[in-house]
Structure 1
Amino acid sequence: MPFFSARGRTPRLAPELDDADLGKLLKRLLSASRLNMAGGTEICVAQMAQVLEPDDLSADRRAHRLSVLAEFLSASHLPGAWARREPRNARALVLHAWSALEQGRGAGRMTDAAATWKTCLLAAELAPEDPSPWVVMLGVARLERYAEREVFSVWNEIVARDRWHREAYLSMLAYLSPQEAGSLGQVLEFVGSLRTRMPANAPCASVELAAHLLQYHSAMARGGTEALLARNHWNGERAARFLDRALATWPSPAFFSHAAAVADLNLLAYALTAAGGPRETAPVFDAIGGKVTSWPWRVEGDPVAAFETARNKAR
């Protein structure tokens, strides 16, 4: 599993992004799973709690850590073990529910959506200010094709707690897309309403770019003439204006402060590469520093190889 490298700027899949404490935890969990040592579960649970429960941890940073751990541990017994040990611990419950959601995404359906939903409701009761249980419920509602009113009810609970929650906005974008339950018109309306209200450096600033990528990848997937002309998407007024604005601001170290900023820079580097402007992309790759995200690079095949090819062209 090529998650880790000793050289900081050597391209590598980095689910932790620039979160050093999370990266150390992922290494420990990976080593523990390989060693299968006695008392390993207790040690791992304690280490997870240490990373997820500091009093000074921001809600944005905690959400990032939860989402990464949930995907990393989707096939592990650890989230369930922690939830059983501490059935009134909101963080343990959310991690357990989120890992079940990630496992369901991999399988195409939830094993027990009702149980996961119930776990989220209990977590929400224990930590009423935390949007994370509701973010998981939004994922469950999408995967299980719940009624639109239920999806929007959950969405309203999220934004009432965190106005610019990155994971929630990207999830809602996917729900409104033609590939799921919506249409291109709904995507454009969603992005347009967000553009007029959202601070330029909000955690969900990449939603508009993600929408452009959805349209670009849809054209590529259709093949034929549409695939050949897909690059023209980036020459459109809206896409070109967005890329110019993002290139001028996003790579600055002082612009973004949210936990997934490096993931957003990966999106921007990919889009600029797809648009055919390799020289313009160099500052973005410098800001990324070799920390590769699986999406969107995996669309081109091996994500690390695709990233490295694009970075070499930029240089």
Structure 2
Amino acid sequence: MALFGRSKSSPRLMPELDDGELGRLCKQLSPSTMRSMADFNVEAAERLLKDADTDWDRRWHRLSVLAESTADFNFDRSWQMRRSRSVDAMLFGAWVAAVRVSRGEPATELPEAVEACRHASELRPQDPLPFVALLGILRLMRRPSHELNEVWQGVVIRDPWNREAHLQVLAYLSPEECGLPGQAREFVDAQQTRMPADAPATALELTASVREFHRATSGNQLNGILADMWWDRPHAAAVLDRALTLWTRPGFLRHAAALADLNLLAYALTQAGRISEAGAVFEQLGTTVVGWPWLERGEPVEQFAAWRNRVLR
């Protein structure tokens, strides 16, 4: 056992997932290195995105995790000041603005972020990521659906199964945001009929089911009783069966956020009471924890560890 903190074999939050290069850069970037290593840090971030080349899925994962990890100390401004014409710097700054607003800061930067995304799309027209970022920003601004649809089409033309874009639309169409009852489910069903089973957006269906589960079972004691039965419904059980059958095959999931999707599957299986079946998923995950959906039931690492210990004992 480690004397101080968690041992390396203990579950821990790892937003970088299995991307070692991204994890090392996130550890390197901190307020203390902003001045002394500013040029070095900007070059390292540029190189990290450049190395992903046109693997748009990997490129977005790296950009978004960097944005989440540095939004509190203005690395975006340091990057833009040094590379004012860089598309990556524009996109990064725009998404950092979105991260800050999602954390509760005023939305004053979002109009400028919209313009940055549009300019980036003009400078690099084959790149879907300006459209992906713009989709998320327009969602935060609660813009009308026709505006988001135009941007969505821009993503689909360039990267049909972009994971982030699908999840942004799903959230926008939820009853809590701008959707009508049943609209999110219609979107999922329409995508599911065409989507390859190993696409980066493969977790769209299970994400929708988990969100429906939370919506249906939160609140009062009666809903707590219903939670035990929710995943027994034929449609919900079938969604879990499909994910469990395919995703646990060695090498089946290859996209950048595969471990985040496996976290989602492990969570859903535990909530469904399918404890023994969750074992194979926890084995694949090792110690890698993501915040959502575990945070719906408490502190994510504690929830993950408790269930893993129960499943693998």
Q: Deviations over 1:97-146 (max 9, x none)?
A: 10110001111652222111111111111111111111111111111111
- 2:246 maps to 249
Q: How many residues align?
A: 308
Q: Which moved more, 1:108-117 or 1:131-140?
A: 108-117
Q: Distance in 2 between matches of 1:211 and 1:38?
A: 43
TM-score (norm 1): 0.93
1:14 aligns with 2:11: no
Task: Supply the AA of the counterpart residue of 1:193.
Answer: A
After superposition, the C-alpha distances for 1:228-283 in whole angstroms (9 at most, x for unaligned) are 21232211111111111211121223101110000000000000000011111000
In structure 2, C-alpha distance between the alignment counterparts of 1:192 and 1:38, rounded to whole Å: 50
* Corresponding position of 1:186: 183
Which runs of structure 2 are paired with 1:256-267 in the superposition (5 Å)?
256-267=253-264
CA distance in 2, matches of 1:74, 1:299: 23
Listed one character per residue, the Cα deviations across residues 37-81 of structure 1 (whole Å, up to 9, x for unaligned) are 742222211111121112646211111101111111112211122
Q: How far did 1:303 drift?
A: 0.3
Q: Distance in 1 between matches of 2:34 and 2:146?
A: 47
Select which of 82, 85, 89 maps to 1:88: 85
**1-side partners of 2:34 and 2:138: how far apart?**
38
1:222 CA drift (Å):
3.0
Distance across 2 between alignment mates of 1:111 and 1:139:
15
- Mapping of 1:106-121 within 5 angstroms? 106-107=103-104, 109-121=106-118
- Tell me if 1:61 matches 2:58: yes
User: Counterpart of 1:11 in structure 2: which amino acid?
Assistant: P
* Residue pair 1:14, 1:292 contacting (<8 A) in 2 also: yes
Does the 8 A contact of 1:137 with 1:154 survive in 2?
yes
Structure 1 residue runs of 5 or longer lacking an equivalent are none
CA displacement at 1:299 relative to structure 2:
0.9
Q: Classify 1:6/1:222 alpha carbon distance in 2 versus 1 (closer, same or farther; 3 Å).
A: closer
Structure 1 residue 82: Cα displacement = 0.9
Q: Hey, what's the Cα distance between the residues in 1 that align with 2:124 and 2:170? A: 26
Which residue among 199, 208, 219 is the counterpart of 2:196? Answer: 199
1:25 corresponds to which residue? 25
2:15, 2:65 within 8 Å by CA — same for their partners in 1?
yes
Q: Hey, what's the Cα distance between the residues in 2 that align with 1:102 and 1:22?
A: 18
SS of the equivalent of 1:138 reads: helix
Bigger mean CA deviation after superposition, 69-78 or 302-311: 69-78
Residues 189-248 of structure 1 deviation map (CA, whole Å, 9 limit, x = unaligned)? 111111110011110010100111111111232323123212322111111111112111
Q: Give identity over the alignment, percent.
A: 42
Structure-2 change in CA distance of 1:5 and 1:257 (3 Å): farther
Equivalent runs, 1:122-161 vs 2, <5 Å: 122-161=119-158
**1:224 aligns to what?**
221
Distance 1:79 1:38, change over 3 A: closer
The one-letter code matched in structure 2 to 1:198 is M
* In structure 1, C-alpha distance between the alignment counterparts of 2:213 and 2:125, rounded to whole Å: 39
Aligned partners of 1:68 and 1:274: how far apart in 2? 27
User: Is 1:109–1:143's contact at 8 Å kept on the other side of the alignment?
Assistant: no
Quote the Cα distance in structure 1 between the aligned partners of 2:281 and 2:209. 18
Q: Distance in 1 between matches of 2:7 and 2:250?
A: 23
* 1:161-176 mapped onto 2 (5 Å cutoff): 161-176=158-173
CA RMSD, aligned part only? Answer: 1.7
The 8 Å contact of residues 89 and 126 in structure 1, kept in 2 or not, is answered as no
Structure 2 gap segments, 5+ residues each? none
Query: Does the Cα contact within 8 Å between 1:70 and 1:99 map onto a contact in 2?
Result: yes
Find the counterpart in structure 2 of residue 299 from structure 1.
296
- SS at 1:258's partner residue? coil
Q: CA deviation at 1:36?
A: 4.3
- CA separation of 1:124/1:56 partners in 2, compared to 1, >3 Å: closer, same or farther? closer
Q: Is the alpha carbon distance of 1:227 and 1:212 closer, same or farther for their aligned partners in structure 2, counting shifts above 3 Å?
A: same
